[in-house]
């Protein structure tokens, strides 16, 4: 065992067993807008906060004390104020607000899928009638709406590398498959006035992507294509096809099937860009979030599973793509795999 390996002990097990309480505490505080109520510089007592939130005084007092125990609030006597950093990250009017991510990271959809994980493992796939592969699955709307900490940096990395690669191309037609929020394609469009983006996803998700495109000022250069990536008419040919956080919803065999289909819609010399979590080439503890995501794919899909960089190389090569490269950017939790059509 390496010197850095964590020891299994009672304290660590208890922390894992009770972690859900901290999650639900934070989710309740965000949904009640507790941090907004304490945004002023003056500490407030529970009755004042309850009056602002229109909540029960006793319930508010217990909630505030629990938030202080988790060091999200400061408690002085019986008055409460925001802990350092909470104003920037948890007050909804702040430009750095990230409270909305709770609807993605602590979604009821995830809890419903994982609550019977032992049975899922026995079965070898999802037990849900409506799951991540179902048209209109509500989670994908939340995922598209509430951007995670890595969304914009990841989109910018895709844009930077794509724009550098595409300097000599007359056109820059982009197909964003399973686009979600659409930011991977929109970041490319922001950096290249000639870029035209086609967003492919379920109709309810495209409604969210459309709003992101308008906010980014690229809405007039975006086309929306509702449907299933495996069957929908993809239209014309593309210089770049982006697959962001998408392929791990499917088996290795299905990924090969899809990439072969997409490669048939690439222009000569066109490129496929895969962005997403990977597993298999590093110790599991170094890819902690990826392996937890893999559990979700087990519980949420029929055959979805995170793939290794080597498997992505084989997937892209199966579509006739060459010059396959795997890259990463420090600070981002996922990898980028690119391949080009000769």
Nearest to 299 by CA among 102, 107, 128: 128
On the question of pLDDT at 298 being above 70, the answer is yes
Q: Which residue range is the domain that position 208 belongs to?
A: 139-340
Kindly indicate the confidence band of residue 23, based on its pLDDT and cuts at 50, 70 and 90.
very high
The verdict on 57 and 145 lying in the same domain is: no
Q: Which distant-in-sequence residues (6+ apart) come within 8 Å of 152 by Cβ?
A: 183, 187
Contact by Cβ (8 Å): 201, 178: yes
User: Domain check: are 93 and 187 in the same one?
Assistant: no
Distance CA 273, CA 316 (A): 10
Query: Per residue in 99-143, pLDDT tens?
Result: 999 999 999 999 999 999 999 999 999 999 999 999 989 999 999
> Do 146 and 240 fall into the same domain?
yes
Q: End-to-end distance of the chain based on CA atoms, in angstroms?
A: 46
Instruction: With beta carbons less than 8 A apart as the criterion, state whether 180 and 144 touch.
Output: yes
The span from the CA of 2 to the CA of 63, in Å, is: 41
The confidence score (pLDDT) of residue 74 equals: 97
332/227 same-domain check: yes
Q: Is residue 280 part of a domain?
A: yes
Residue 241 φ/ψ region, left for φ over 0, alpha for ψ in the -120 to 50 degree band, beta for the rest: beta
**Residue 202 and residue 60 share a domain:** no
Phi/psi at 143 (nearest 5 deg)?
-60, -40
Report if residue 165 sits inside a domain. yes
What is the gyration radius of the CA atoms in the chain, in angstroms?
22
As a whole number, mean pLDDT of residues 240-261 equals 97
The reply to whether 175 and 269 lie within a common domain is: yes
Q: Are 197 and 171 in contact (CB under 8 A)?
A: no
Residue 2 has pLDDT above 70, yes or no: no
Parallel/antiparallel/unpaired status of strands 238-244 and 266-276? parallel
Whether 122 is in a domain gets the answer: no
The total of structural domains in the chain comes to: 2
* CATH code at position 15: 1.10.10.10
Pair 86, 178 in one domain: no
Q: Are strands 222-226 and 195-201 parallel, antiparallel or unpaired?
A: parallel
For residue 319, being part of any structural domain is answered with yes
* Residue closest to 70 by CA, chosen among 43, 90, 100, 94: 90
Same domain flag for 296 and 229? yes
Spatial contact of 271 and 206, defined as CB atoms under 8 Å apart: no
Per-residue pLDDT, 121 = 97
Tell which of 47, 66, 97 closes a domain: 97
Strands 266-276 vs 222-226: parallel, antiparallel or unpaired: unpaired
> Residues 324, 316: contact at Cβ < 8 Å?
yes
Give the model's confidence band at 9: pLDDT under 50 very low, under 70 low, under 90 confident, else very high. Answer: very high
Contact residues for 118 (Cβ-Cβ < 8 A; gap 6+): none
Whether 103 maps to a domain, the answer reads: no
Residue range 115-127, pLDDT digits in tens: 999 999 999 999 9
Q: Check whether residue 251 and residue 169 sit in a common domain.
A: yes
Asked whether residue 277 carries a pLDDT value surpassing 90, the answer given is yes
Of 66, 82, 97, the residue that ends a domain is: 97
pLDDT of residue 41: 76
pLDDT-derived band at 4 (thresholds 50, 70, 90) equals: low
Domain boundary among 65, 97, 129: 97
Cα–Cα distances in Å, from 224 out to 138, 183, 191?
A: 19, 14, 20
Among residues 198, 191, 199, which one has the least CA distance to residue 161? 191
What is the pLDDT at residue 236?
85
Q: Where are the alpha helices (DSSP H) in the chain?
A: 10-32, 34-37, 46-53, 57-69, 86-90, 102-105, 108-114, 117-123, 139-145, 151-165, 183-191, 203-216, 252-263, 288-300, 309-318
pLDDT at 73 over 90: yes
Residues 205 and 321 in one domain: yes
Please give the C-alpha separations between residue 179 and each of 33, 141, 222, in angstroms, as whole numbers.
30, 11, 12
Asked if residue 329 belongs to a domain, the reply is yes
SS3 186: helix
pLDDT band at residue 54 under the 50/70/90 scheme? very high
For the chain, percent of residues with pLDDT exceeding 70 = 99
Assigned domain for 118 exists: no
In this structure, are 214 and 312 located in the same domain? yes
Residues 169 and 64 in one domain: no
Closest CA to 315 of 265, 266, 255: 255
Of 199, 127, 187, the C-alpha closest to 152 is 187
pLDDT at residue 300 in the model: 95
Q: Given a cut of 90, is residue 3 above it in pLDDT?
A: no
Residues 184-226 have pLDDT tens digits of 999 999 999 999 999 999 999 999 999 999 999 999 999 999 9
Please indicate, yes or no, if residue 44 is contained in any of the structural domains. yes
CA distance 212 to 252: 31
10 Å Cβ neighbour count for 331? 9
pLDDT of residue 1: 39
- How far apart (Å, rounded) are the C-alpha atoms in residues 136 and 147? 19
Arithmetic mean of pLDDT over the chain: 95
Q: 46-53 and 57-69 are packed helices; what angle lies between their axes, rounded to 10 degrees? A: 110
Digit-coded pLDDT (tens) for 26-40 = 999 999 999 999 998
């Amino acid at each position: 065992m390496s010197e850095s390996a964590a020891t299994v002990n009672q304290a660590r097990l208890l922390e894992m067993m009770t972690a859900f309480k901290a999650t639900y505490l934070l989710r309740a505080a965000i949904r009640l807008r507790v941090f907004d109520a304490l945004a002023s510089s003056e500490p407030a007592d529970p009755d004042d906060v309850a009056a602002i939130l229109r909540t029960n005084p006793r319930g508010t007092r217990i909630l505030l004390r629990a938030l202080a125990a988790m060091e999200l609030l400061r408690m002085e006597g019986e008055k409460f104020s925001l802990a350092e950093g909470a104003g920037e990250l948890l007050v909804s009017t702040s430009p750095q607000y990230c409270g909305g991510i709770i609807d993605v990271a602590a979604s009821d959809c995830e809890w419903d899928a994982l609550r019977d994980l032992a049975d899922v493992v026995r079965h070898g796939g999802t037990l849900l009638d409506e799951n991540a592969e179902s048209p209109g699955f509500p989670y994908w709307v939340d995922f598209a709406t509430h951007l995670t900490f890595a969304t914009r940096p990841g989109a910018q990395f895709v844009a930077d590398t794509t724009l550098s690669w595409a300097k000599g191309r007359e056109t820059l037609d982009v197909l964003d498959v399973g686009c979600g929020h659409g930011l991977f394609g929109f970041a490319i469009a922001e950096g290249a006035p000639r870029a035209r983006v086609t967003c492919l996803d379920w109709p309810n998700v495209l409604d969210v992507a459309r709003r992101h495109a308008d906010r980014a000022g690229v809405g007039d250069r975006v086309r929306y294509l509702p449907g299933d990536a495996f069957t929908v008419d993809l239209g014309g040919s593309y210089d770049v096809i982006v697959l962001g956080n998408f392929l791990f919803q499917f088996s290795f065999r299905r990924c090969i099937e899809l990439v072969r289909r997409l490669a048939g819609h690439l222009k000569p010399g066109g490129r496929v860009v895969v962005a997403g979590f990977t597993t298999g080439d590093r110790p599991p503890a170094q890819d902690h979030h990826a392996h937890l995501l893999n559990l979700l794919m087990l519980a949420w899909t029929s055959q979805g599973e995170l793939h290794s960089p080597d498997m992505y190389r084989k997937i892209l090569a199966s579509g006739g793509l060459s010059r396959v490269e795997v890259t990463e950017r420090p600070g981002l939790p996922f990898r980028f795999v690119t391949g080009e059509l000769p």
